[in-house]
């Protein structure tokens, strides 16, 4: 049986490919939500990582990920036209799709180093779903072309943030011992994430009243957690609100960032 990440990656690749095929020259050169990259730079980064992985068995990544190779791949792509870069994205992701589809359960269970520490190759591919989905939003948001905000890849990406919420609550927001915080997602990916600090921060599933709650749509929540947008602009626009303990709620709305 194929790993669940394959479906998420396929959704990301298809959605992003459709977007790239329609971009104008000005859109390719638009500043993305990543400070160092325009739209083309984001695409080159995504393709470079897949090129780094292509043709290598999972066991090659047991000790480290050779991110030092990315600069060479990116340099080669910098000479491509925008249409050539879109085609490069198509060919590399097609090759990766075929490669991943041929892998066994044992391949996905292989211990590797992931961007967040030791894990399995399957876990690494879950992180790639999050990376592709987040970077697609990095492109779509400044272009004013919303899309791919729901479905399996979006849900997987929100779940990636959910798993990090105890860290965010404890280290970034500073939820105190005995306090609790609920994140209410109004859609397109709907749900609740509740964290309680009892000695240490942890996820809980009960529906007891919490010290504070914040409410946002799932894309705004993700952009804030990824450090992509200024919290003040989303507070001013009403895209993130809070209730309960006002001080904790506001602090949470301003302190979701855990990655960039």
Same domain, residue pair 9 and 112: yes
Assign 243 a pLDDT band (cuts: 50, 70, 90). Answer: very high
Same domain, residue pair 9 and 93: yes
260 within a domain of the structure (yes/no): no
Looking at residues 136-154, what average pLDDT do you find?
Answer: 98
Q: Checking DSSP bridges between strand 180-186 and strand 117-120, what pairing results, if any?
A: unpaired
Q: Read off the pTM.
A: 0.95
Assign 260 a pLDDT band (cuts: 50, 70, 90). Answer: low
243 within a domain of the structure (yes/no): yes
Alpha helices in 112-200 (DSSP H): 121-143, 152-167
Assign 236 a pLDDT band (cuts: 50, 70, 90). Answer: very high
Q: Copy the structure tokens of residue 33.
A: 């939500």
**Final residue of a structural domain among 148, 178, 207:** 148
229 within a domain of the structure (yes/no): yes
Q: Copy the structure tokens of residue 213.
A: 């709650």
Q: Is the pLDDT of residue 73 over 80?
A: yes
Same domain, residue pair 113 and 18: yes
Same domain, residue pair 144 and 163: no
Taking alpha carbons only, the member of 53, 64, 146, 121 closest to residue 93 is 53
Q: In this predicted model, what pLDDT tens digit does every residue of 84-143 receive, in sequence order?
A: 999 999 999 999 999 999 999 999 999 999 999 999 999 999 999 999 999 999 999 999
Same domain, residue pair 124 and 210: no
Q: Is the pLDDT of residue 76 over 80?
A: yes
CATH of the domain at 179: 3.30.1050.10
Same domain, residue pair 23 and 99: yes
Structural domain range at position 71? 4-148
165 within a domain of the structure (yes/no): yes
Element spanning 47, H or E:
helix 39-53
Per residue in 41-76, is it b (16+ CB within 10 Å) or e — as a string?
bbbbbbbbbbbbbeeeebeebeeebeeeebeebbee
Same domain, residue pair 190 and 214: yes
Same domain, residue pair 118 and 11: yes
Same domain, residue pair 166 and 235: yes
Q: In this predicted model, what pLDDT tens digit does every residue of 15-72 receive, in sequence order?
A: 999 999 999 999 999 999 999 999 999 999 999 999 999 999 999 999 999 999 999 9
Percent of the chain at pLDDT > 90 equals 97
Total number of domains constituting the chain:
2
Mean pLDDT over each residue of the chain, to the nearest integer:
96
Q: In this predicted model, what pLDDT tens digit does every residue of 171-213 receive, in sequence order?
A: 999 999 999 999 999 999 999 999 999 999 999 998 789 999 9
Same domain, residue pair 103 and 230: no
153 within a domain of the structure (yes/no): no
Same domain, residue pair 18 and 121: yes
């Amino acid at each position: 049986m194929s790993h669940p990440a394959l479906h998420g990656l396929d959704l990301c690749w298809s959605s992003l490919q459709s977007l790239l095929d329609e971009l104008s020259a000005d859109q390719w050169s638009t500043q993305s939500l990543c400070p160092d990259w325009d739209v083309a730079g984001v695409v080159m980064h995504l393709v470079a990582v897949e090129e780094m992985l292509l043709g290598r068995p999972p066991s090659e990544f047991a000790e480290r990920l050779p991110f030092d190779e990315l600069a060479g791949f990116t340099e080669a792509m910098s000479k491509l036209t925008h249409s050539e870069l879109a085609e490069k994205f198509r060919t590399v992701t097609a090759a990766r799709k075929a490669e991943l589809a041929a892998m066994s359960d044992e391949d996905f269970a292989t211990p590797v180093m992931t961007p967040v520490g030791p894990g399995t190759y399957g876990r690494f591919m879950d992180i790639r779903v999050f990376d592709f989905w987040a970077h697609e939003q990095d492109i779509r948001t400044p272009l004013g072309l919303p899309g791919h905000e729901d479905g399996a890849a979006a849900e997987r990406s929100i779940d990636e943030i959910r798993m990090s919420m105890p860290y965010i609550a404890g280290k970034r927001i500073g939820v105190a011992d005995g306090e609790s915080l609920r994140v209410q997602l109004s859609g397109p990916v709907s749900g609740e994430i509740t964290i309680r600090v009892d000695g240490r921060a942890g996820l809980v599933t009960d529906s007891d009243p919490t010290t504070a709650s914040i409410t946002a749509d799932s894309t705004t929540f993700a952009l804030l957690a990824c450090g992509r947008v200024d919290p003040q602009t989303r507070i001013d626009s009403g895209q993130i609100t809070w209730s309960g303990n006002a001080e904790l709620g506001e602090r949470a709305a301003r302190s979701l960032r855990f990655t960039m």
